[in-house]
Amino acid sequence: MASDLKGLEVILGVTGGIAAYKAVDLASKLTGEGAVVHCILTDSACKLVVPKSFEAVTGREVFTGLWSAPQEYRIGHVSLADRAQVMVVAPATANLLAKAAIGLCDDLLSTTLCAAWEKPIIIAPAMNDRMWSNPAVQQNVGTLRNRGWRFVGPAAGRLACGREGLGRMAEPAEILDMIRSVCSGS
């Protein structure tokens, strides 16, 4: 059976939320369906998951910074944005949402998001429930939604801090469904 994701160029941004381990599974599922996955890990993400995990499941080098680039890397954030048919950030922390909402470009992921503003962008937030409900975070989410960014999650459940609440990253299968929906024009 042919996958509707075959050949799709996906930039997968991974931030420093504890849910970063789920992003490895997402990258694996995307690759398994034939998508070409380019991963960008923030410094904080690299403290939780290692780039080699993403390299193993995608068969591609992982981008970890503006100044540590593979050979194919031209002007990184621009060439990555040009290549992408869709950008996905999973997990997306409150920090990333704030930077994106105001256009702050201080790392490879935020600069690539800024350069890819005309592309479909899917965000899978993950954070503590109190952080998610913070008015500043909700204002940033509203700003990004108004720009056409699509959100999947967060889900309710047990959080890393032990609390129950809204803040868990959506499961990889749900994110895949959103990618299919966005890329099919639904």
161 in catalytic set: yes
Catalytic residue, chosen from 39, 105, 114, 161, is 161
Rounded distance, CA 33 to CA 11, Å?
15
Q: Cα dist. 108→16, 43, 168, 175 in Å?
A: 14, 10, 25, 22
Alpha helices (runs of H) in the chain, residue ranges in sequence order: 20-32, 43-48, 51-58, 76-83, 94-102, 108-115, 129-132, 135-146, 172-184
Which sign does the torsion angle of CA 4, 111, 128, 20 carry? positive
- Answer for the pair 20, 50: CB distance below 8 angstroms, yes or no: no
Rounded distance, CA 15 to CA 67, Å?
18
And the tokens for 180?
């299919």
Q: Cα dist. 4→117, 149, 181 in Å?
A: 23, 21, 10
Residues catalogued as catalytic: 161
